[in-house]
């Protein structure tokens, strides 16, 4: 179906995709901004093309430029990675219309899951448990809104249909504050997402974030590849992910995994995807589906032994899945620490030149990164520079190995969050496991950084 893959992304994921493509004997094309000519995957690709200035809007988000690059280089498929255009239904359909293969689901699936109201409706119909709330978007009538608020119960959360990246949400604890919150969220959502539609959901106070990885082909076959616990978050951004999720019964996870597979079949989903759930008091509640490969996919690769990006490309190439659900077993425990070019205390970005980088290694250690000695981290993009992964027979062994990897890493010239992860690997709440999504923010509020204490 295709033999040349254009990688419409940058950084570690572009390199990850390049390696999977190379393993399958595909030719690769790297497109990059003027700020990214020195990226590792740009050097390794069979062909490279600069598509615009540093600003993402003019390069990595510039659809006409990317399509033009595909034409110029003879690429017949485009992998969007994560972020940028990965969840743009318009981009996926533009790629389809140009007669190219979009490495992802059909644009219609992206559109369906990209709107929170339609996604929730589709999941509800497919038997996936959802957070209780208003049935669909809110009406205009204030009395009806108040009635729906009462039915939902307080505290509740007002969410924008078109929201994403943790934006477009407002918690409401008392009925008298509801109408104002609805009006404000509508106004903001209209401006930010071009869609003022909002809905209500019960606000869960202490949930964990548990997600299910799925893989589906175009012939109606689908499997789930275990779960990930991504509860360690700051401002809704994941910092640490692990698999399996500690302390949750395997039967409960298998039941929700089976529901996700049913849902893939119900919406004719194709490719890799992730069903995200909040988990509280033994119940799973669907919040959203990501219709792309995720940053934390290697956690699942370590425990299942499945090369997720390879499978994603094989499905896009039109191959039927060869994996059967019974073949998928989780072995041991894996943890990922996201290393960002950020100050470990203030979290402000720390772009600049990496004067020295020595990657950790050893049994059970995997490092996904585009770093090398002398590489300059540009200030224009996401600050993720490396993912440290540790795999062990047990969670304890994975933690021990992660501590070793973090202590062995040398990353000089820029500040990074390595020091934060070193603290977290020893933090009693993390070590005990089973913490909720507010754990990290509580920890950061209570425990100033040891180096900066008076
Ligand atoms: P986004 O698309 O912006 O990431 P999500 O619907 O995935 O939005 O929600 C992002 C985060 O907001 C969740 O990970 C969780 O921390 C919080 N959240 C969302 N819905 C609820 C809810 N009903 N109760 C409690 N927290 C929620």
Across the chain, mean pLDDT equals: 96
Nearest atom within ligand 1 for CA of residue 209: 14
pLDDT at position 1: 87
For residues 240 and 280, what is the distance between their CA atoms, to the nearest angstrom? 19
Instruction: Read off the pLDDT of each residue in 211-231 and give the average, rounded to a whole number.
Output: 98
Report which protein residue has its CA nearest ligand 1's atom 6: 287
Closest CA to 281 of 170, 428, 439, 436: 436
Q: For the chain, what's the residue count?
A: 454
Task: Classify residue 221: in a domain, yes or no.
Answer: yes
302 vs 168, more confident? 302
The residue from 49, 83, 103 where one domain ends is 103
Same domain for 287 and 428? yes
Task: Classify residue 148: in a domain, yes or no.
Answer: yes
Positions marked catalytic: 292
Contacts of 210 (CB under 8 A, 6+ apart): 227, 228, 229, 230, 231, 245, 248, 253, 277, 278, 279, 284
Task: Classify residue 112: in a domain, yes or no.
Answer: no
Task: Classify residue 98: in a domain, yes or no.
Answer: yes
Same domain for 58 and 168? no
256-279: pLDDT as tens digits:
999 999 999 999 999 999 999 999
68-116: pLDDT as tens digits:
999 999 999 999 999 999 999 999 999 999 999 999 999 999 999 999 9
Band (448; pLDDT cuts 50, 70, 90): low
The residue from 151, 184, 202 where one domain ends is 202
* CATH code of residue 44: 3.40.50.20
The residue from 145, 179, 202 where one domain ends is 202
pLDDT at position 165: 78
pLDDT at position 453: 45
Closest CA to 149 of 173, 169, 120: 173
% residues pLDDT > 70 (the chain): 98
Task: Classify residue 28: in a domain, yes or no.
Answer: yes
* CATH code of residue 350: 3.30.470.20
Task: Classify residue 453: in a domain, yes or no.
Answer: no
Beta bridge partners of 133: 201
329-362: pLDDT as tens digits:
999 999 999 999 999 999 999 999 999 999 999 9
Same domain for 333 and 236? yes
Residue with tokens 């019974």: 326
Same domain for 345 and 416? yes
Distance 269 CA to ligand 1 centre (A): 23
Distance 116 CA to ligand 1 centre (A): 11
Distance 287 CA to ligand 1 centre (A): 7
Same domain for 374 and 439? yes
Whether the full predicted model's pTM is greater than 0.85, yes or no, is yes
* CATH code of residue 138: 3.30.1490.20
pLDDT at position 447: 78
Same domain for 195 and 336? no
3-state secondary structure the chain: CCCEEEECCCHHHHHHHHHHHHHCCCEEEEEEEHHHCCCHHHHHCCEEEEEECCCHHHCCCCHHHHHHHHHHHCCCEEECCCCCCCCCHHHHHHHHHCCCEECCCCHHHHHHHHCHHHHHHHHHHCCCCECCECCCCCCCCHHHHHHHHHHHCCCEEEEEEEEECCEEEEEECCHHHHHHHHHHHHHHHHHHHCCCCEEEEECCCCCEEEEEEEEECCCCCEEEEEEEEEEEEECCEEEEEEECCCCCCHHHHHHHHHHHHHHHHHCCCCEEEEEEEEEECCEEEEEEEECCCCCCHHHHHHHHCCCHHHHHHHHHCCCCCCCCHHHCCCCCEEEEEEEECECCCCCCECCEECCEEECCCCCCEEEEECCCCCCEECCCCCCEEEEEEEEECCHHHHHHHHHHHHHHCEEECCCCCHHHHHHHHCCHHHHHCCCCCCHHHHHHHHCCCHHHCC
Same domain for 258 and 400? yes
Band (234; pLDDT cuts 50, 70, 90): very high
> Ligand 1 pocket: which residues have CB below 6 Å?
131, 157, 163-167, 169, 201-204, 207, 209, 236, 276, 278, 287-288, 437
Same domain for 376 and 308? yes
Same domain for 220 and 179? no
The answer to whether the CB of 169 falls within 8 A of the CB of 188 is no
Distance 343 CA to ligand 1 centre (A): 26
Distance 190 CA to ligand 1 centre (A): 19
pLDDT higher than 70, residue 284: yes
Instruction: Read off the pLDDT of each residue in 404-410 and give the average, rounded to a whole number.
Output: 98
Task: Classify residue 124: in a domain, yes or no.
Answer: no
Structural domain harbouring 146: 132-202
Same domain for 308 and 194? no
pLDDT higher than 50, residue 128: yes
Same domain for 377 and 302? yes
Report which protein residue has its CA nearest ligand 1's atom 2: 164
Task: Tell which one of 161, 166, 295 to mutate to probe ligand 1, the residue whose CB is within 8 A of the most ligand atoms.
Answer: 166
Instruction: Read off the pLDDT of each residue in 309-332 and give the average, rounded to a whole number.
Output: 97
Task: Classify residue 120: in a domain, yes or no.
Answer: no
| Domains in the chain, number | 3
Same domain for 407 and 309? yes
Task: Tell which one of 118, 236, 273 to mutate to probe ligand 1, the residue whose CB is within 8 A of the most ligand atoms.
Answer: 236
pLDDT at position 452: 56
pLDDT at position 164: 83
Report which protein residue has its CA nearest ligand 1's atom 15: 236
pLDDT at position 454: 38
């Amino acid at each position: 179906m295709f033999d040349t893959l254009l990688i419409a992304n940058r950084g570690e994921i572009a390199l990850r995709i390049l390696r999977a493509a190379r393993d399958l004997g595909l030719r690769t094309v790297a497109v990059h901004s003027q700020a990214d000519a020195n990226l590792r995957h740009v050097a390794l690709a069979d062909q490279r093309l600069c598509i615009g200035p540093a600003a993402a809007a003019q390069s990595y988000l510039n659809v006409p430029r990317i399509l033009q690059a595909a034409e110029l280089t003879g690429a017949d498929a485009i992998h969007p990675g994560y972020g940028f255009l990965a969840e743009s239904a318009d981009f996926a359909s533009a790629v389809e219309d140009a007669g190219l293969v979009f490495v992802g689901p059909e644009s219609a699936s992206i559109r369906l899951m990209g709107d929170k109201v339609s996604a929730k409706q589709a999941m509800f119909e497919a038997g996936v448990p959802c957070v209780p709330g208003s049935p669909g978007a809110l009406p205009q009538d204030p009395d009806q809104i108040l009635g729906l608020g009462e039915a939902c119960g307080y505290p509740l959360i007002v969410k924008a249909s078109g929201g994403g990246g943790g934006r477009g949400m407002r918690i409401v604890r008392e009925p008298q504050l509801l109408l104002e919150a609805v009006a404000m969220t509508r106004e903001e959502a209209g401006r930010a997402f071009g869609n003022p539609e909002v809905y209500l959901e019960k606000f869960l106070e202490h949930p964990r974030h548990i997600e299910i990885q799925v893989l589906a082909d175009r012939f109606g076959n689908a499997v789930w590849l275990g779960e990930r616990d991504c509860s360690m978050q700051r401002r809704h951004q994941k910092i640490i992910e692990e698999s399996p999720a500690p302390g949750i019964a395997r039967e409960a996870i298998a039941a929700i995994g089976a529901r996700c597979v049913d849902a893939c079949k119900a919406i004719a989903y194709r490719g890799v995807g992730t069903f995200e759930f909040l988990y509280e008091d033994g119940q799973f509640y669907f919040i959203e589906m990501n219709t792309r490969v995720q940053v934390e996919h290697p956690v699942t690769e370590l425990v299942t032994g499945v090369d997720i990006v390879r499978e994603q490309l094989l499905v896009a190439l039109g191959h039927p899945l060869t994996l059967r659900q019974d073949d998928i077993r989780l072995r041991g425990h894996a943890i990922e620490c996201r290393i960002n070019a950020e100050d470990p205390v203030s979290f402000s970005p720390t772009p600049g030149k990496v004067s020295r980088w020595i990657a950790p290694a050893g049994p059970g250690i995997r490092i996904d990164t585009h770093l090398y000695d002398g590489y300059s981290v540009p200030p224009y993009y996401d600050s993720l520079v490396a993912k440290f992964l540790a795999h062990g027979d047990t969670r304890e062994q994975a933690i021990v190995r992660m501590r070793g990897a973090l202590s062995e890493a040398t990353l000089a010239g820029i500040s990074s969050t390595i020091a934060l992860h070193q603290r977290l690997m020893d933090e009693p709440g993390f070590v005990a496991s089973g913490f909720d999504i507010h754990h990290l923010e509580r920890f950061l509020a209570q425990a100033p950084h040891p180096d900066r204490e008076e």
